[in-house]
Amino acid sequence: MKRTTLLAAALLSAAVVNAEKRPNIVYLMSDDQSSYTMGCYGNADVQTPNLDRLAADGMVFDNHYDTTAICMASRATVMAGMYEYKTGCNFKHGEMLTATWKKTYPMLLREAGYMTAFAGKFGFELRDTPEGKKRELPAADFDRWGGGPGQTFYETAKNKSMAAYAEAYPHSTLSYGAFGRDFIRDAAKAGKPFCLSISFKAAHRPTTPDPKFDAVYAGKTFRKPENYGRGNGAHFSKQSKQGRQYVRFEEWDYDKDYDGVMATYHQQVYGIDVAVGMIVDALKEQGVADNTVIIYTSDNGFFCGSHGLGSKVLPYEEASRVPMIIHDPRHPNSGKKLRSDALTGNIDFAPTLLKLAGLPVPATMDGADLMKLYGNPKASIHESLALINVYNQSGPPVTHAMAVVTREMKYIYWGYAAEGFEVAEELYHLGKDPHELVNQAGNPEYSAALQQMRQTYDKHLGHWKAEAVPYNNYQPYGTLFDRNVGWDDKAPLLPKLKNK
């Protein structure tokens, strides 16, 4: 009996030691944030001191893509580590099934003994079956909950789970910083490894920056990007100009008041920067900073007038390529101001977080371990990624497209060919043309590159056909996006392809 007791004590002691070695994880995600909103991405017009310091202490990733550039699908992909057509989750399509949710990083980390917390815009809902009743948000699946449904609110008091912070932090952005600070304090006292996930509402519209930062960009003039304006989108497909992204260039005043619009946008990001500083300070104050890995990114980018577009969704650079920073204080590469130009995607976060915790990665996940790049910034984890848009505000799938991107090239296929539209292809040499100013699809000098990218595209589409969920209207896109199927065979699918 005594030997059994000693053995149990030894096992418990070993478990405690192993738990202490596991790093804490802080995953921070903004909303609608382009990479040119940050100093560490080369914008001298903005102030992001805390994010820039995080970048200097850790590693910056220069070719990071959200495989679907809209919040609901992107957030589901982040949690599940799978492409949208495998999560089955996006606006106008449907919710994530609870069976999929059980295999997401927050659920798996908590099962493994991590203390977990979530605050901010959760972004999607759950159903037990595709046609079943929507479930409540999974607040009970976290040890600490500050999340909310839908888009949430900038007014902290309107976010039920965050109401306790409303008096001290009336604007939600800083309330999330305070939530993170308090959770870190309590988790440190508990002596358990923790995973804190915060999804800021900023910089999503409606444009509502924290007024305490009104002076930061007052009267500021901002340089326009090289691809600003309608003229720099004339070569885009006719399909790409049918959605709300096109009209919002004018509706949101990028054409008439660029400096004023961008001042507000950057002010919202400044608030996030302050909140990030609160969280980093809390890690130091609680003595856990040296064992906490921080990841910062955005759920999608934003056009902000590039190519004469507003908003996001389309598979062009400003909407799909976003900032991403990792800081692992335990690693010898930290503090060296290193950057990686490897191709990475939001499918990579879930497997990376699981690997950091020493957990197996489910075979269903599409992503790879980002920490391989942290160890060797010149390494590679993807030869290519798929970029997806199957979201329409209403009507037929005119703007739906699939694209593939490599480190050097991007190929976009626009398959809708009814009502005066023709199938369109776009090819961009990103290594030489990062602003996507010249479509090389018709250039004979790029014929070999075009064929190679078509093959890469076909490979990804084959994965879609084999892996897409059999619900929420994802299977028909295997045909719509097939380059080798004529429109006469695609047209009968139109009733199925109209979004809900």
158-209, pLDDT tens digit by residue?
999 999 999 999 999 999 999 999 999 999 999 999 999 999 999 999 999 9
Distance CA 423, CA 414 (A): 6
Regarding whether 299 and 433 lie in a shared domain, the answer is: no
**Amino acid 13: pLDDT:** 37
Regarding whether 411 and 302 lie in a shared domain, the answer is: no
Regarding whether 88 and 147 lie in a shared domain, the answer is: yes
Regarding whether 185 and 101 lie in a shared domain, the answer is: yes
338-375, pLDDT tens digit by residue?
999 999 999 999 999 999 999 999 999 999 999 999 99
- What pTM value is reported for the model? 0.95
| Domain interval for residue 467 | 386-497
Distance CA 449, CA 432 (A): 14
Regarding whether 347 and 228 lie in a shared domain, the answer is: yes
Residue 160 lies in a domain: yes
Per-residue DSSP letter, 95: P
pLDDT tier at 19, thresholds 50, 70, 90: very low
Average pLDDT over residues 280-304: 98
Joined tokens for residue 210: 């924290």
**Amino acid 257: pLDDT:** 98
Distance CA 270, CA 216 (A): 8
Q: Would you call 467 helix, strand, or coil by DSSP?
A: helix
Regarding whether 165 and 117 lie in a shared domain, the answer is: yes
Instruction: Give strand pairing partners of 428.
Output: 410
Regarding whether 427 and 347 lie in a shared domain, the answer is: no
Of 184, 364, 360, which Cα lies nearest the Cα of 275?
184
- Domain end, chosen from 382, 404, 433, is at 382
CA-based radius of gyration for the chain = 23
Of 309, 314, 369, which Cα lies nearest the Cα of 344?
369
- Domain end, chosen from 361, 382, 403, is at 382
Residue 16 lies in a domain: no
Residue 8 lies in a domain: no
CATH number at residue 489: 3.30.1120.10
- Domain end, chosen from 317, 351, 382, is at 382
Q: Is there a contact between 197 and 27 (Cβ–Cβ < 8 Å)?
A: yes
**Amino acid 14: pLDDT:** 37
Residue 301 lies in a domain: yes
Distances (CA, A) of 37 to 6, 8, 57, 175, 302: 57, 53, 19, 21, 10
Q: Would you call 116 helix, strand, or coil by DSSP?
A: strand
Regarding whether 332 and 395 lie in a shared domain, the answer is: no
Distance CA 267, CA 263 (A): 6
CATH number at residue 31: 3.40.720.10
Residue 4 lies in a domain: no
Task: Look at the chain and report how many structural domains it folds into.
Answer: 2
Regarding whether 80 and 226 lie in a shared domain, the answer is: yes
Residue 292 lies in a domain: yes
389-435, pLDDT tens digit by residue?
999 777 889 999 999 999 999 999 999 999 999 999 999 999 999 99
Percentage of the chain exceeding pLDDT 70: 95
115-124, pLDDT tens digit by residue?
999 999 999 9
At which residue do the structure tokens 């809900």 appear?
500
Regarding whether 397 and 368 lie in a shared domain, the answer is: no
Per-residue DSSP letter, 147: E
Q: Which residue has the higher pLDDT, 49 or 393?
A: 49
For residues 251-277, one letter each, b for 16 or more C-beta atoms within 10 angstroms of the residue's C-beta and e for the rest, the string is: ebebbeebeebbbbbbbbbbbbbbbbb
CA atoms 88, 93, 98, 99: torsion sign: negative
**Amino acid 8: pLDDT:** 39
Regarding whether 493 and 456 lie in a shared domain, the answer is: yes
Distance CA 22, CA 292 (A): 9
Regarding whether 240 and 196 lie in a shared domain, the answer is: yes
Q: What's the half-sphere exposure (Cβ side, CA atoms, 13 Å) at 318? A: 22
